[in-house]
Structure 1
């Protein structure tokens, strides 16, 4: 059961404001202040998490239940990708990646504050919150896979430009290791997405063939094909990344895309019709 969308609470706005400021500082270029910029990113990440918890729980809104929508889903995805970055950056330096992720994190927080989603007063099943958590976790894992695939493609372009030389990758690790890490994220995301789909099918009452379901199953099929092609045919390079980007795009449309249409486009169309 959905209730009307409410604006974010003061606490959410405060945490989101701190995250935006810290992320903005982390996008600066400064070789002398790399440690300070890393601390700014860490503060932004913590404040981002606090804003997500406050907004999703609806604390301060005066309505019982959980709130979610396309912007919080994207925000949670970026937060998980930043968590992966935080772990990897302890082993290899990633200054260029840090600026891009900080900018994307700021954009995700801003979207969440502008489009906080809708309140869900009751879940269809006590297992549905786990279904939602697994779905967002799969978003984060595939987001990390897309990030690493982008770094891999960039390194391969550098290698071709240098006519076969082996430049260091953006992660400071060999290409084969980066490729292996990319597909580990794909495999983990596939397992988590499969569990989310099974829970959704098993506990949803009734099961609905809506846009979210169709796009999720299409994405699952693309990822299954990618893993099968990788294992049986040794897919790699452009062919593998195209499959990955296609599956990630379909998964993005499954929830974030469909909710964007419902929460923003259809609501604006209805408002315009009412005005006329």
Structure 2
């Protein structure tokens, strides 16, 4: 049942990526339906009475699920059709991942009641910064197109969507709003992991690769926001920090879980 829903959501995401920009109402409806099916599949697959299924595929799929919602809401206020061309193919792949890599089941009876909140905030932080990374890539492509456009170059499938984006200054404002929200959520994730490690995980905080990468990501985003506030950082500097912070955060959990589950074939919670 869950696999059928994952497959249906993936097909709808793929269809949404291919729809022409002028079909705005259809795009919005298909996106909402795909998102709903994806959410039902995730909820049924990840949550069972007294247990939680975890793994890099579930985490990545949940992150893209929230990212699609962020795109859908933002697109109602701003013309972000180019973002659809980036997010939907990734959401399509992410919807299929739990079918291929189911992860492992963790019994919740041995976990603190705060564990669920910690996981929820971590997923929200990761999701918000994922959409910020998509946004940064889109801005880089938009800037490149503005500088490299020639008279003879046609708009193309993706170029036409880039031409419909808001001005770079508006895109930059949206980017830093996403980063600000994501940074607050990431701060709560790191803080809860540090302060309540004994209660959340049943052991004192360990300086393993996951915690180190998460803290390094927090430092990069903190430096970016501080540089923006006091040094006026923008443009390529902001984009580099955003992508570096996201890549580091991806290594903190998704990357490490991918190595454990796919490369080393270990089912470790």
The Cα offsets for residues 70-115 of structure 1, whole Å up to 9 and x where unpaired, read as 1111111111111111112223444443243221111001112111
Other-structure match for 2:223: 225
Q: Does 1:134 align with 2:121?
A: yes
Q: Does 1:125 align with 2:118?
A: no
5+ residue gaps in structure 1? 1-10, 269-276
The Cα offsets for residues 129-157 of structure 1, whole Å up to 9 and x where unpaired, read as 11111111111111121122122222222
**What is the CA-CA distance between 1:44 and the residue it aligns to?**
1.0
**What is the CA-CA distance between 1:160 and the residue it aligns to?**
2.0
Other-structure match for 2:87: 101
| TM-score, structure 1 normalization | 0.83
Other-structure match for 2:178: 185
The Cα offsets for residues 118-137 of structure 1, whole Å up to 9 and x where unpaired, read as 11103532111111111111
Residues 247 and 95 (structure 1 numbering): CA distance in 2 closer, same or farther, change over 3 Å? closer
Other-structure match for 1:53: 43
Other-structure match for 2:76: 90
1:124 and 1:204 in contact (8 A); partners too:
no
Q: Distance in 2 between matches of 1:145 and 1:171?
A: 19
Q: Does 1:145 align with 2:135?
A: no
| 1:243-254 paired onto structure 2 within 5 Å | 243-254=241-252
1:58 and 1:119 in contact (8 A); partners too:
no
Q: Distance in 1 between matches of 2:95 and 2:161?
A: 32
Question: Alpha carbon RMSD of aligned pairs, Å?
Answer: 2.3
Q: Distance in 2 between matches of 1:42 and 1:170?
A: 25
5+ residue gaps in structure 2? 151-159
**What is the CA-CA distance between 1:188 and the residue it aligns to?**
1.1
User: What SS does structure 2 have at the residue aligned with 1:90?
Assistant: helix
The Cα offsets for residues 4-56 of structure 1, whole Å up to 9 and x where unpaired, read as xxxxxxx2112112212212222324467553343222211111111111111
Other-structure match for 1:8: none
1:125 and 1:203 in contact (8 A); partners too:
no
Q: Distance in 2 between matches of 1:199 and 1:96?
A: 36
Q: Distance in 2 between matches of 1:93 and 1:177?
A: 11
Q: Does 1:239 align with 2:200?
A: no
